[in-house]
Amino acid sequence: MAMLEVENVHAFYGNIHALKGISISVEEGEIVSLIGGNGAGKTTTLRGISGLLPPREGTIKFDGEDLSSYKAHELVSKGIAMVPEGRGVFSKLSVLENLEMGAYHRTDRDGIAEDFQKMYELFPRLEERRTQVAGTLSGGEQQMLATARALMSRPRLLLMDEPSMGLAPVLVEMIFATCQAINLEGTTVLLVEQNAHMALQIAHRGYVLQTGEIVLHDSAANLQQNEMVQKAYLGID
């Protein structure tokens, strides 16, 4: 049984049929990447898994349990956390207060203190900026903060939505290296990313979405060699 099972999910924005019966799975310990162009349904898939856009049809299961009866904030306690597209930090709160919000459902004070130190080791810049208001951070620093905030909930499954968007190349490499490090420490990752080249370099498997449908599923290594993927997403003619 996979950790995450998305089966025949249909999702709508009003009358717009955004997801048309997609099925994906994520095994514990994997990095799985969803790639595709704008409007393909990548973010919508994550919104469905995180409870922000419940599917109209189909099922989403975590550890075999149907998630349809849970609200988005309840899924954090179940072990699912999301790093949203555009970072979504609490702009008027400090770095420290944002991290505290990530651990809002936890009561283990010693564990929370331990995780603060882990986040500062993972992202030293955040320790330097811990009293700074989040809205004044650079884009890269906000991405670090959004990731650290999600990790403060101690998720088993981390959903990452376009983490490289708008970042300089050196920061993109740092974010993907961090994603690998998080995974090596035991967190399963479902990664949505337009930078297919970087995403497939760190992923174990990948799915390709086009207009709300899965059109390809294979190992990341095989997808990098796939002619359609090379032409459409990797810039190789």
Give the domains, in start order, of the chain with CATH numbers.
4-233 (3.40.50.300)
Instruction: Say if residues 46 and 192 touch (Cβ distance below 8 Å).
Output: yes
pTM of the entire predicted model: 0.93
The C-alpha atoms of residue 182 and residue 161 are separated, in whole angstroms, by: 15
The C-alpha atoms of residue 166 and residue 178 are separated, in whole angstroms, by: 17
pLDDT at res. 11: 96
How many C-beta atoms lie closer than 10 Å to residue 17's C-beta?
A: 15
pLDDT tens sequence across 133-179: 999 999 889 999 999 999 999 999 999 999 888 888 888 888 899 99
pLDDT at res. 234: 85
Residues in the chain, pLDDT under 50: none
Measured between its terminal Cα atoms, the distance across the chain in Å is: 39
The C-alpha atoms of residue 206 and residue 1 are separated, in whole angstroms, by: 18
Tell me how far CA of residue 43 lies from CA of 33, 87, 163, 213, 217, in angstroms: 12, 13, 12, 13, 18
Beta strand segments in 36-141, E: 57-62, 65-66, 80-83
The C-alpha atoms of residue 166 and residue 237 are separated, in whole angstroms, by: 25
pLDDT at res. 168: 83
pLDDT at res. 38: 86
